[in-house]
Amino acid sequence: MQPIRHSLRDQTPLYVFVSVLFLMGVVFGALMVNALTFEQQQDLSRYLGDFFVSVNDGGTSFQALSFWTVASLHLKWLGLIWLLGLSVIGLPGILILDFLKGVLIGFAVGCLVGQFTWKGLLFAIVSVAPHNLIVIPALLIASVAAVGFSLGIIRNRVLLHRSGSAAGPFFSYTSLTLIMAAILLAISTFETWVSPELMSWVTPLLI
């Protein structure tokens, strides 16, 4: 856990910046719901209604994703952050990914609340919130590590023209990313087997 403690201690401003960027994405995503046309809102309402009926009835259109499908979605996102952190030009991409993640969550919650008010909020609490309470911090920690590593490249290689070995920082950066990957694998078990059960308990309220 040493890489995490080091990251938390030395990169607090980056954590604040990335967290604010993510929250801006959440707000933007929620506001996007209001920008939908009336026809789009009707289509969305029909889709959600059919989805909730299927969940309640155990229909074939609702099939809980397999563990590896869920895990691969999280790991691909994490892997892309890690890859972008290896290059200077990838720095904006990391920030865009964090903002986009916020937009996706904000839009999902905004759609549920906009269509079903407090019942939609309750569904969002059991379906969107639980695993994301772990997934989002893990991705933000990985993002800060990626931004920090990329800024280190800019500072040492571009601005100061240092030619020392980057093996140490790379090992710390990759180690932290692997720790986040293990955490995402663990929370994927919850998302695979527990979240669908929670959704099935709440769904009758929305039908």
- pLDDT confidence tier of residue 60, bands split at 50, 70 and 90: very low
Following CA atoms 99, 101, 104, 107 in sequence, which dihedral angle do they give, to the nearest 10 degrees?
-50
How far, in Å, are 15, 41, 45, 72, 206 from residue 137 at the CA level?
Answer: 10, 31, 31, 18, 30
**Cβ(25)–Cβ(103) below 8 Å:** yes
Burial level of 17, CB count in 10 A (0-12/13-18/19+)? middle
- pLDDT confidence tier of residue 182, bands split at 50, 70 and 90: very high
Specify the pTM: 0.87
> Model confidence over 3-54: pLDDT tens digits?
555 555 668 889 999 999 999 999 999 999 988 888 888 888 888 888 787 7
Give the separation between CA 144 and CA 136, rounded to whole angstroms: 12
Residue 65: CB atoms within 10 A of its CB come to 15
Kindly list the domain boundaries of the chain, sorted by start residue: 2-206
Give the residue among 40, 62, 45 at the shortest CA–CA distance from 53: 62
> Model confidence over 121-173: pLDDT tens digits?
999 999 899 999 999 999 999 999 999 998 888 877 665 555 556 677 899 99
